[in-house]
Structure 1
C-alpha cells in the first residue's frame, strides 16, 4: 500500500491509525447479504482519496453502489492495550475501474471531516481512536437485555455494535422499551428506542443496529445534547483537530469497574488459538447462517447463494480432510445452539452420505436442509419465548415445537421453494419411526432413508451436548440409549454411525489414568485415539497445558480410561 504524503485531514488520520494495525476492509450494502473483502492499495491524504482493490465474481456490483457511492467498514485488530476498533464510512463517491475479469479498483473520495449528519440533520459523532461506550438494550420489558458498544451517537439516535447471535432477537421497526448508554466514567443515560436498520458489521460475528431515540423529554434531550457535545470534543481531541487546552472529556475516562471490564475483554481476545484455514471455514459458516437469518427477518429474502456456499464449503472440507473437520466442529461450543446443532449434524450427514456414494446428487440438498432445519427456532423469539438460552419450561418447549411450521411459513412468505430432498429434511428431521416425533407424527413407512439417518445423527448430537440443563452423555452412553429404543431409531443406522465415528469420537475429551485430560485429535483404523492434545494435569487443576502427543508417547499420560464432560473440569476449546 502506498501512502503519498503526511496526514493532513482527520479522516486520513483515522485511516492511518487503523492501517498501522492488522485490519480488514469490507464493502457492504444494507440490501446485500454478503460483503466484499477489499484491500487498500493506495492512500492519498492530500486529496482525501483511497483506492481499494476487490476480487468479485458476481454478475454486477450494482447492489453495492448507491448513486455511484459505496460504503465500507475498516476493522482493526486489538494491538497491545488498544481497543478493537471498527470505523464505518458510508456513501462516499467512488470511481470504478475493472482491471480484469474479477478484479476492480475503486477510487474513493473521503469526507474531509469525521463528523456527519443524521437523517434529521443533527451532528453524528463517530466513536474513534479508542473512544467507546457501552449500550444495554432492553428487548422485551423485564425479560431480555443485550449488551453492545456504541459506534456513533447523535441527538436523534445511535448505531450500536452487538454480537450477531444476540441480534436474532431484534427486528427492524421493533420498539425497545429501554436503551441505556453507559460511558466509561459510569454516567448513564436511558430512553426508549426504535430499530431503524440492521446489517452485518465487520468480519467477526457482529451486527450494526441503527437505533432512533423516541419519547425523549426536554430535560433528557438537553442531557443528550451535552453527551453529544462531549463526544464531539473527545473525537476532535483524539483526531488532532482540537487543540483546546481543556482536559479530555471526563465521560471517556474509565472508572475502576470499566477498567476491569476492559482488562477482561483484552484477556478474552488475546486467548486464542492458531486457526487453521479449515477451522476458519467452520466458524465462517456459523456466521453466515446468522446473517442469513438476519436477512430473512429484516429484508424479507433468503440469500440462497450464502446457503449453498456454506453447503459447498462443508462438502469440500469433508472431501479434503474429514478428520480435521470433525475436530474443528468442536470449536462451535460457544455458538448459538441452533447454529451449532445445524452445522455439526449437517457435517456428519455429509460425511456418512459421501462415504456411501461420493457422487450422489441428493447429498448437497440434504446438507442444505440440515443447515436450515433449526432456523425456525430463532424465528419464534418473542415476549412469550424471549431467548433460546433460557431454561425451557413446558410452555416454552411447546412453543419451540412450532419451529418447523415457523420456518416453512417464512420460506413460503419469502417465495423460496426448497428442493424435494431439502424440504424432506426441513419438514421431517424431527419425526420418529413410531410416530412419536413432530410436527405431524409420521411413522416409519412414510419416512425416507435420509430422514431416518438424520434422526439418528440428531439424537446422538442432542444427547452428547448439554441442553436445557441436562448433563451431556458420553458417546458410549448415548449409543446405548439410542440402541435401547429400536421403535424410534433404526438400529442399522446406529451401527453405521458408530462405524464412522467410533466409541472415542474425534473432538471428545479423554481422561487418562495418570490424571491427564486431552482432546482427541485423531483416531486409528480401530477407532482408538492415536493423537491427542493434552490440556490439563488434574494434579494441578489451575494450570493449563497445550502439548500434542502421539500414541507412542501415551505412556507419559497413562492408559485411556474413557471420555468425560469438559465442563466438569472447566475445560473448553479456545477460539479467538
Structure 2
C-alpha cells in the first residue's frame, strides 16, 4: 500500500530484499514482534538468510515464547537498514530445533518486505565509532547524564544510555536540556521531550527518543547541517568498507577529532565492581532500574522479562550463595529501591530454599520481592523525603502497593497467591498496625509473615530521611522485643539461618580491625572475612582475606557496624 506518505511500502525486488535481510542479520539488527495486542519487540538473531527458501532465527534469548511460536502464532521481524524501517509480513515457524544449546527455528522466505522512509523526518544514523555524545540535564539531576547519539533528525534524536540510567529520566520534567557534542567539539543545545523508549536487555542499553521543542531558525539551520554531515560521513565509511580500503575523501569536519586536555567529568560511565559477582548482579540491577522507569511511565512490568531475570537471579544465588549475599552490600550505585528489592528477593529466596519449597513457588517469591517496592517511585518527593507523616500522608503512602499489583497484572505465570502475600504482606503487622489492609493475626498468610521480617530487616539497615541505618544487632533486638508485630518463629529462623553477623556485615574486632564478613560458621559467627581500612562501602581495593587460625587470633567481633550507604536517589 504505497501510497500514503508515511505508510510502509512493499519491496519485492530479490536483490534489494537480500541486501535488507543481510543488514538485519547483523548482531542486534533484528527484533521479533508477536502478532498479538500489547506485544513488545523481543531480541532475536537472524542466523541465516537462504534466498527464496527460508530464514533461520536464533530465539535462545526468548525461550519463554517458543511454545506460542511452535503452536503457530504469527510474528514480524523488525529492524533498520539504510535509513529505512524494515519489517517482514506476518510469518510463522515451520520447525524448531536445538543445536549446541541454541534454540533455532525456521520459517519460509518472505515474498516481500515492507519499508518506511519519510524524508521530511529523515533520521541520520551514527555508528558507535562516530563518537557523538549527548549530555542530558534537568534540575533534579545533580550532574548531566551522558549518552551516545544514535540518530538525529530535524525533529528529534535517539540517545543510547546504559540500561541502569533510564529511571533518572522518569523523574525529569516534561522537557529537558540536550547538548549535542561532536568529536570536533561542535555543540548545540536544544530542549527536548521524551517521546518513546526501548531497552536492549542483552546489550544493557536504554534507548531514549526525544522530540525537539521550541526550535528557532538558527537551531534548525545547525540541525540540518549536522544531519547532512552525519549522512555524508556514514556514506563515506560505508563505501570504504565496501571497497575494502581506507576512505579516499576527507572526513566530515564534525568528525575530525580535536585534541583537548580536560579533566575527567562526573558523566563518566566507567564502573569498577568490588567482586565479579557484583558485576553480574549489576546486570540484574540495571533490569530492575528499567522496570522502575516503566512503572513511572505508567506501563506494566513485562511478564517475559520478569520471568527471565527471576530465573537468572535464582541461578546466581544457587551457583554461589556466599558471593551473592556479599554482592548485595557491594551494589552501591543503584537507587535505594533497586538495592532493596534485590536484597529482599535474594534473602527471601535463600531462606525459603531451606523449607523444601517447590522451585516455581520459590521463583515466584523472588520475582514478587524484586519489584515489591517499586511503586514508591510514584510517590511525591515531599512524601518520600519526609521525616514524619501525618494521617493523610500515611494514607497516601499505602497507594504504592496497589500500583505494583496493577503493574504485575500481565504476569500470568506468577502465582496470584504468592504475589499477593509478598507485595501486600511486606508492610502488614501481626497487631493490625500495618498497611495496606491492616490485617492481623491468623488473617496474615504465612509467606506474608516471612516477607515482613525479611523486608523490615533490610529496610532498617538502610539510611532513611528520619534516621540513620541500624546495625544488625540493633535490628535483631528490635524485632525480638516486638512479638506483637513480627512472627517470632520467622525472626528466630532468620537469625539462625543468616547468623549473628550475616554475610555482608561490617564488623570491628577488639584490636580495632575492620572486616567484611564473607562466610559464617554454624554458630552464625564470621568464619572468613576481608579486612578493610575504613568503614566505607566495599570496593575492589580492600585488604587480605583471612580465615581459620589467622581469624582465631583476632578473636570474636566486638561490634557490628551499620553498612555505609553511597546509593543514588530512588
Q: Indicate if the aligned counterparts of 2:517 and 2:530 stay in contact, CA closer than 8 A.
A: yes
Aligned-partner SS, 1:226: helix
Match of 2:305 in 1: 306
**1:261 corresponds to which of 258, 265, 283:** 265
Matched, 1:503 2:506: no
Post-superposition offset of 1:33 = 5.6
1-structure distance, mates of 2:313, 2:462:
21
User: Which whole-Å deviations, capped at 9, do the CAs of 1:251-277 have from their partners, x for residues lacking one?
Assistant: 8536444x6239x837x34x346635x
Aligned-partner SS, 1:352: helix
- Name structure 1 gaps, 5 residues minimum: 1-10, 43-49, 74-86, 110-115
Q: Indicate if the aligned counterparts of 2:78 and 2:85 stay in contact, CA closer than 8 A.
A: yes
Match of 1:128 in 2: 128
Equivalent residues in 2 for 1:57-456 (5 A)?
57=63, 58-59=66-67, 69-71=77-79, 91=86, 100-101=97-98, 102-104=103-105, 120-138=120-138, 147-168=146-167, 175-183=174-182, 188-201=187-200, 203=202, 205-232=204-231, 235=234, 243-245=248-250, 248-249=253-254, 253=258, 255-257=260-262, 260-261=264-265, 265=268, 268-269=270-271, 271-272=272-273, 275-276=276-277, 282-292=281-291, 300-359=299-358, 362-378=361-377, 380=378, 384-385=380-381, 394=389, 398=394, 399-411=396-408, 419-456=416-453
User: Which whole-Å deviations, capped at 9, do the CAs of 1:492-522 have from their partners, x for residues lacking one?
Assistant: 3221211111111112223345554332211
- Name structure 2 gaps, 5 residues minimum: 1-19, 50-54, 111-115, 241-246
2-structure distance, mates of 1:429, 1:418:
17
Task: Give the direction of change, closer, same or farther, for the CA distance of 1:184–1:487 in structure 2 (3 Å limit).
Answer: farther
User: Which whole-Å deviations, capped at 9, do the CAs of 1:65-86 have from their partners, x for residues lacking one?
Assistant: 999644399xxxxxxxxxxxxx
Post-superposition offset of 1:412 = 5.6
Q: Indicate if the aligned counterparts of 2:507 and 2:557 stay in contact, CA closer than 8 A.
A: yes
Matched, 1:547 2:544: yes
2-structure distance, mates of 1:213, 1:200:
21
Post-superposition offset of 1:131 = 1.0
Moved more, 224-233 or 341-350: 224-233
Match of 2:52 in 1: none
Match of 2:484 in 1: 487
Q: Indicate if the aligned counterparts of 2:302 and 2:411 stay in contact, CA closer than 8 A.
A: no
Q: Indicate if the aligned counterparts of 2:431 and 2:485 stay in contact, CA closer than 8 A.
A: yes
Equivalent pairs, count:
516
Moved more, 487-496 or 279-288: 279-288
2-structure distance, mates of 1:164, 1:200:
7
Aligned-partner SS, 2:332: helix
2-structure distance, mates of 1:253, 1:340:
41
2-structure distance, mates of 1:393, 1:32:
43
More strand by share: 1
Post-superposition offset of 1:474 = 1.6
2-structure distance, mates of 1:410, 1:451:
20
Q: Indicate if the aligned counterparts of 1:456 and 1:489 stay in contact, CA closer than 8 A.
A: yes
Equivalent residues in 2 for 1:19-34 (5 A)?
25=28, 27-28=30-31
1-structure distance, mates of 2:194, 2:438:
40
RMSD, aligned α-carbons: 5.0
Match of 2:14 in 1: none
Give TM-score scaled by structure 1 length: 0.71
